[in-house]
Amino acid sequence: MPIEYSFSTKWKTTANIQNVWDAIRLSLEWPVWWKSFNSVIEITPGDEMGIGSIRRYTLRSPAHYKLTFDFLLTDRIEHKLLSGKASGELEGSGFWHFNVNDGITYIECQWNVKTTRAWMNMFAFLLKPAFKYNHRLVMKKGAQYLEKKLGVPVDAISRQF
């Protein structure tokens, strides 16, 4: 039986919204700067806004297991929102939300997913805390890598797991 997870990560930075937007939106480039991602491959390009695009993400967790999922982009509001549906080893929905207030760019990443790998579900009663911890580390490293890419601090302002 698939196990459900909800993850929410919030970051803030003084970086320009366009630079933040581009760093997150251009996920094909993530493996270059976000070292948790082994690869991001475009399966289907989508329309001129990327709606309908499908990208396959493969990442290596801090516990050294690989996780691969496809993400179908269903919504895009320039400098505000990227959202879609995950399938594969993760199934569910996710979004990136962007907001600027008083010169601070706020970024929120939300995932509501189920795992489909048999071993993950079979041992979830033991490993769920470790999976949550791994997600936290991937996002913590993501903030650090984004900070290096943007050249300005990226701070975590809240994490809920």
3-class secondary-structure state, position 104 = strand
Query: What global pTM score does this model have?
Result: 0.92
Q: Return all residues near 21 (Cβ < 8 A) that are at least 6 apart.
A: 78, 79, 98
How far, in Å, CA of 130 to CA of 15, rounded?
32
- pLDDT tens per residue across all 161 residues of the chain: 788 999 999 999 999 999 999 999 999 999 999 999 999 999 999 999 999 999 999 999 888 889 999 999 999 999 999 999 999 999 999 999 999 999 999 999 999 999 998 888 888 888 888 888 899 999 999 999 999 999 999 998 765 54
User: Which residues does 151 contact at the CB level (< 8 Å), separation at least 6?
Assistant: 15
Give the residue numbers spanning the domain of 141.
4-160
Neighbours of 57 (CB within 10 A): 22
Burial letters 96-119, b for 16+ CB under 10 A, else e:
bebeeeeeebbbbbbbebbbeeee
Count of domains forming the chain: 1
Please report how the helices 124-150 and 17-25 are oriented relative to each other, as an axis angle in degrees rounded to 10: 130
Question: CATH code at 52?
Answer: 3.30.530.20
